[in-house]
Amino acid sequence: MSVLVFVEGLNGEIKKSSLEAASYGSQVAQAMGTTATAVAIGDVHEEALAKLGEQGISKVLYDADDRLKQFVADAYVKVIAKAAQQENAKVLVFSNSNIGAAVGSKLAVRLNGSLATNVTELPKIEGGSFTVRRGVFSGKAFADVNLSSDVKIIAVKKNSTDIISNGGGTATVEKLSADLAEADFAAAPKETVMQDTDGGVLLPEAEIVVSGGRGLKGPENWHLIEELARELGAATACSKPVSDIGWRPHHEHVGQTGITVSPNLYIAVGISGAIQHLAGVNSSKVIVVINKDPEAPFFKAADYGIVGDALEVVPKLIEAAKALDK
Amino acid sequence: MKILVCISNVPDTTSKINFTGDNKEFDKNGVQFVINPWDEYALTRAIELKEAKGGSVTVLNVGEADAEPNIRKALAIGADDAIRVNAHPKDAYFVAQQITAVAKEGGYDMILMGKESIDYNGFQVHNMVGEMLGIPSVTPAFKLDMVDDSTARLEREIEGGKEVVEVKLPFVASAQQPMCEPRIPNMRGIMTARTKPLKVVEPVGGEAKSEYVNYSKPEKKSGVKMIDADNAGELIKLLRNEAKVL
């Protein structure tokens, strides 16, 4: 019996959300008196894999098949299922990413397992019961869910678990081959286009997000958001109206029908805080709201607030951020 | 082309969320229910494809009778007929089994739904259905077009980018914006929806694999600390020294 963690790579390194999943998995393994193994695929360096020892992972199974560098659900499922079988894994841990949750859902069917996505805390394991807490109602509540099958699959919400780095030692890296057939790649992407983040931070992985709304008055002022984000090491985001009128691309829109983020710090500039927007950001740990309307509903959800014009306030913040010791 | 669109009946975004029965049940009292906003993208795109290529759009809901007003709304928006599997949607696995049973029976070319429901935020059902049926599931897709009569071209979001995928029919896809502009029903649609067929079927003997045992709400914020705009730089110091997030 063991715990198996799926780790995702990007440009040779392991994604932050996967380091969180590894930390989560090794803590579950410890609570169950067993070890945690990771399974990795595709675009990641072996040195990065060995360093997963710091997160408490003892062994990494790595399938270096070049065809796995892009995401192909059926092939990924086959590789992870093979690793799960080899390790007799009873708990599988993923990041709650578009890839992790997709593969986890398919594996729940294939391995006849219980699945919980959007999980925010370590499980409570008592006697025969195994209960996890997950975010529901778009951040307005939590549910405790009992996973009753023999195999339990957990997708961990981003930025809800601390990355541990005292796991000690180096993980051993072993090759894994799942004997993939041509048919496993039938739904392979024709093309993968990565965003040019301009050296910036990817929004879904970001610890700090600076987000702008119509209070910026026009796309010509967007450089203020970008400059503040750069000084703080943050990703940029926007409200729905801003993406609807085309100032910013849709993939930066956070909210009910956009992306959900849960960074340590969310700075909202010139966003009134409609309930649809709050649904995408309400699990952020600290929320800062800058708005010229003192009645803006967003202030009710904020930890810090400034009433003022974005074009006057943001330059002062940039100046103060520049003065910080980095 | 036969398209199946799965819709959830969910509390409106602005609803206050409360629980009853010792925090073991969602309190429906005073809550307005709507078609899950993500499902509206799937529904509208299905109708657009039908209008362009011919075929039919069937709406499927796994839920109790109180979902019927929103099923009728989907018919008013332009679906041709509807099926309700008469069961409480216990968990994603249970729902996926019901959808799979209906899909096998109906032989659909395309099974669409939203990327997740705004109440249970699972992002699970579409991939489970794809796996149960042994057909591709492309999720979450923000673009869906037909290349020819048997092939669709989709664009799906991955963290930090997008993928372009071409799949043969049949397949499963989940929708997110900006796939289309969701439609609202017009008067003619509302009139014709009344007489469109809505079939109620009993669930297949599927099991749930997880059990919701308790609900809770996040701790309330302690209140907002205001900083004077003239002294805005002070905020950065507070974020470092007090909130410790910089």
The residues, any chain, with a CB within 8 Å of residue A296's CB and separated by 6 or more, are: A272, A273, A289
Is the distance from CB of A63 to CB of A98 less than 8 angstroms? no
CA separation, residue B116 to residues A128, A162, B174, B227 (Å): 30, 26, 8, 38
Q: Is B18 on the interface with A (CB under 8 A)?
A: no
Is A58 contained in some domain?
A: yes
Q: Write down which residue in A185, A219, A246 finishes a domain.
A: A185
CATH of the domain at A278: 3.40.50.1220
pLDDT value of residue A304:
97
Q: Which residue has the tokens 């290349």?
A: B147
The DSSP H or E segment spanning B172 is: strand B171-175
Question: How far apart are the CA of B32 and the nearest CA of chain A, in angstroms?
Answer: 14
Question: Residue B105, Cβ neighbours under 10 Å: how many?
Answer: 11
pLDDT value of residue A167:
75
Q: Is B213 on the interface with A (CB under 8 A)?
A: yes
Please write the tens of the pLDDT for every residue from B189-233: 999 999 999 999 999 987 899 999 999 999 888 899 999 999 999
- Whether residue A36 is found in the same domain as residue A146: yes
* Residue in A closest to B11 by C-alpha: A137
Smallest Cβ–Cβ distance between B161 and the set A109, A195, A283 belongs to A195
Is A86 contained in some domain?
A: yes
For residue B179, the chain A residues in CB contact (below 8 A) are none
Give me the residues of B, 28-87, that contact A with CB < 8 A: 37-38, 41
- Whether residue A138 is found in the same domain as residue A280: no
Question: How far apart are the CA of B57 and the nearest CA of chain A, in angstroms?
Answer: 23
For residue B176, the chain A residues in CB contact (below 8 A) are 257
Q: Evaluate if residue A193 carries a pLDDT over 90.
A: no
Average pLDDT over residues A273-297: 95
pLDDT value of residue A198:
57
Is the distance from CB of A260 to CB of B185 less than 8 angstroms? no
Average pLDDT over residues A189-193: 88
- Whether residue A248 is found in the same domain as residue A180: no
Tell if the CB–CB gap between B13 and A109 is shorter than 8 Å. Answer: no
- Whether residue A169 is found in the same domain as residue A306: no
Q: What is the mean pLDDT of chain A?
A: 94
Q: A210 is in which domain, residue-wise? A: 203-322
Total tally of structural domains belonging to chain A: 2
Tokens of A242: 């801003």
Is the distance from CB of A120 to CB of A61 less than 8 angstroms? no
pLDDT value of residue B210:
96
How does strand B151-158 pair with strand B161-168? antiparallel
Please write the tens of the pLDDT for every residue from A140-187: 999 999 999 999 999 999 999 999 998 778 999 999 999 899 989 988
Is the distance from CB of A245 to CB of A239 less than 8 angstroms? no
Please write the tens of the pLDDT for every residue from B230-246: 999 999 999 999 999 99
Q: Write down which residue in A154, A185, A216 finishes a domain.
A: A185
pLDDT value of residue A128:
85
Task: Report the alpha-carbon distance of residue A311 to residue A110 in Å, rounded.
Answer: 54
- Whether residue A135 is found in the same domain as residue A218: no
Q: Evaluate if residue B178 carries a pLDDT over 80.
A: yes
Please give the domain boundaries of chain B with CATH numbers for all domains.
2-216 (3.40.50.620)
Q: Evaluate if residue A116 carries a pLDDT over 90.
A: yes
CATH of the domain at A37: 3.40.50.620
Q: Is the peptide bond before B178 cis (omega within 30 degrees of 0)?
A: yes
Tell if the CB–CB gap between A265 and B245 is shorter than 8 Å. Answer: yes
Please write the tens of the pLDDT for every residue from B40-71: 999 999 999 999 999 999 999 999 999 999 99
Is A192 contained in some domain?
A: no
Is the distance from CB of B34 to CB of B10 less than 8 angstroms? yes
pLDDT value of residue A200:
67
Is A98 contained in some domain?
A: yes
- Whether residue A135 is found in the same domain as residue A28: yes
- Whether residue A85 is found in the same domain as residue A177: yes
Smallest Cβ–Cβ distance between B119 and the set A115, A137, A256 belongs to A137
CA separation, residue A300 to residues A67, A312, B224, B225 (Å): 49, 22, 7, 10
Smallest Cβ–Cβ distance between B163 and the set A70, A289, A307 belongs to A70
Tell if the CB–CB gap between B210 and A148 is shorter than 8 Å. Answer: yes
Question: Residue A189, Cβ neighbours under 10 Å: how many?
Answer: 20
Conformation bin of residue B134: beta by default, left when phi > 0, alpha when psi is -120 to 50: left
Task: Report the alpha-carbon distance of residue A41 to residue A18 in Å, rounded.
Answer: 12
Q: Evaluate if residue A225 carries a pLDDT over 90.
A: yes
pLDDT band at A256 (very low <50, low <70, confident <90, very high): confident
Is A194 contained in some domain?
A: no
Is A120 contained in some domain?
A: yes
Q: List, as one string, the DSSP characters of B108-130.
A: -SEEEEESS-TTT----HHHHHH
Task: Report the alpha-carbon distance of residue A124 to residue A133 in Å, rounded.
Answer: 9
Please write the tens of the pLDDT for every residue from B92-150: 999 999 999 999 999 999 999 999 999 999 999 999 999 999 999 999 999 999 999 99
Tell if the CB–CB gap between A192 and B142 is shorter than 8 Å. Answer: no
- Whether residue A173 is found in the same domain as residue A28: yes
